[in-house]
Chains A and B, each alone.
Chain A
Amino acid sequence: MNIHWTQKSKLLAPIAETGHCGIFLVRMLGSIRFERGLLLSTLQQTYLIGARSLVIIMICGFFVGMVLSLQSINALQQFGASDQVSLLVGKSLFRELGPVLTALLFAGRAGTSVAAEIGLMKATSQIEAMQLMAIDPVQRIALPRFLAGLLSLPLLTAMFNAFAILGAVVFSIGVMGLDPGIFWSKLETGIYFGKDFMGGFWKSIVFGGLVSLIAVYFGYYAKPTGEGVGTATTRTVVMSSVLVLIFDFIMTSFLI
């Protein structure tokens, strides 16, 4: 089969971009210097992109817990097993929904803001000014935001899970009148630390790294125009969402 060179370059473009992104990651990690400045800027970014995502994560977590218990009770009642609701909700949350939904929300809330911020810094020549002052923008701009994302997502996932359990408690015990003792004992005995909790924890670290890498990469290489910044933010959400779901499947197949 003959493939025209333009089609070939279109086919190869995603592979080339993946390689370029990998080189960017190596360059970013290679610029790590254990100094006070990096710690302070990482903490500042953790507050800006992590702590400020907290409210949306808590609200979404609460309602996901409510709807999950509503659907579970509805299905389990047909088999007379509605007391198993906390087990089903807990397993779904810790293994899948917690890390995946938090990563998707994080990509929409923090990933876009990071990509737009860096893209705008590029469009207003701030990145160029930094390079001309002999300051490495990858080290000063991209790295703290990447590390902050890596640090924030596991913590946000924990908050998401906590509020989802709270939502499940409110609906199952408060609304449906399930016995609190059964609810908590099923949750305690049915959720395993290694497989369920740590499985979700590793996922949240990988997703945190993935979403923040995509955000800083697309922001850093955005065209320095209004349209370029818009494209960078859109691509951040789309690529993050797709890759989070792909990596979720890959990781689940190894962790299960």
Chain B
Amino acid sequence: MKDPIIRLKNVSFKRDEKVILDDVSMDIERGSIVAIMGPSGVGKTTILRLISGQLHPSKGSIEVNGNEVSTLSHRQLYECRKDIGVLLQNGALFTDLTVFENIATPLREHTDLSEEAIRERVLAKLESVGLLGTEELMPDSLSGGMARRVALARAVILNPKIVLFDEPMTGLDPIAMSTVRGLIRKTNDELGLTSVIVTHNVNQMSKLVDHCYILAAAKLIAEGSPQSLAHNEDPAVDQFMNGRVEGPISFRYEKATDSKTANPS
């Protein structure tokens, strides 16, 4: 790994007594698009929350852009987050603000730009996501795909170094999916970002990402390019990549357990 911008070292995370993540390590290279995949409820979003400092690991360390996030003070964490854009699963647009004000919020909060400069930057971002002309609309009048694109424009308005995407394709029609997928690639390459995408959508991700991590039963079970994972012979990876019901990954809920029994292999 040449230059990891995010580094998870032997990270474990427990909620009450339930093991969510067990000894997970990842090195995410600067400038790449990386997918964290796995069945629902496996702890993918937990990894995003650990990277953004919303949660702290039970064990291990998480380094983001040179900062050990779990040891940062509240103020330092907020400073660190200015370099991280996050697109949440439902877009999480502020429902009382227009599209323009939604995108302008981080600029108003963290910069001293003039009103004219803010307007210029917001309209440029709206243009880049193909939504110029929607600036005066309220979020409730946008479709799911449009809301996701507005949220993407808001997430990258401060030109962050890292963008975290939580299930960016969920609930979108095939055209909107392709649009969002194209936008993630375009934004990543044009702005020189590092994108981390949490998803269980194998087909869409194989067309987009440079590197994949697959989680199952709290463990990291495989990593590599989408092409190499498609031909991986590990039964759990094969089950997930091909959507088989039978296999080592159980779809039944498992009650609080220790790390040894959480391992399927």
Contact = CB atoms under 8 A, between A and B. Distances in A.
B92 A128 contact: yes
Interface in B73-91: 78-79, 81-82, 84, 86, 88-90
Contact of A134 (B82, B89, B95, B108): B82
Interface in B146-163: 154
Given A135-B105, A135-B109, A124 B79 contact: no
B84 A132 contact: yes
A186 to B, nearest CB: 49
B78 A134 contact: yes
Contacts of B4: none
A134 B92 contact: no
A126 interface: yes
B45 to A, nearest CB: 11
A124 B86 contact: no
A130 B110 CA distance: 12
Q: Most chain-A Cβ atoms within 10 A of its Cβ — which of B79, B84, B92, B109? A: B92
Interface string B87-118: 01110111100000000011011100000000
A256 interface: no
Given A132-B52, A133-B109, A134-B110, A125 B92 contact: yes
Given A133-B109, A134-B110, A125 B88 contact: yes
A158 B78 CA distance: 42
Q: Most chain-B Cβ atoms within 10 A of its Cβ — which of A126, A131, A132, A136? A: A132
A129 interface: yes
Contacts of B227: none
A135 B97 CA distance: 16
Given A124-B95, A126-B95, A133 B81 contact: yes
B202 to A, nearest CB: 25
B88 A134 contact: no
Contacts of A129: 86, 88, 92-94
Contacts of A128: 54, 88, 92
A253 to B, nearest CB: 41
Nearest to B48: A132
A164 B82 CA distance: 53
A124 B109 contact: no
Given A124-B95, A126-B92, A126-B95, A132 B110 contact: no
A167 B232 CA distance: 82
Contacts of B106: 133, 135
Contacts of B84: 132
A131 to B, nearest CB: 7
Contacts of A124: 90, 92, 95
A131 B54 CA distance: 9
A134 B94 contact: no
Interface in A125-169: 125-126, 128-136
Contacts of A135: 105-106, 109
Contacts of B94: 121, 126, 129-130
Contacts of A126: 92-95
A130 B155 CA distance: 11
A177 B86 CA distance: 70
Contacts of B81: 131-134
13 contacts: A124-B92, A126-B92, A126-B94, A129-B94, A132-B52, A132-B81, A132-B84, A132-B86, A134-B78, A134-B81, A134-B82, A135-B106, A135-B109
Interface of A: 37, 121, 124-126, 128-136
A-B CB proximity, top 4 nearest: A129-B92, A125-B92, A134-B78, A134-B81
Given A131-B81, A133-B109, 16 more contacts: A37-B108, A124-B90, A124-B92, A125-B88, A126-B92, A128-B88, A129-B88, A129-B93, A129-B94, A131-B54, A133-B86, A133-B106, A134-B78, A134-B81, A134-B82, A135-B106
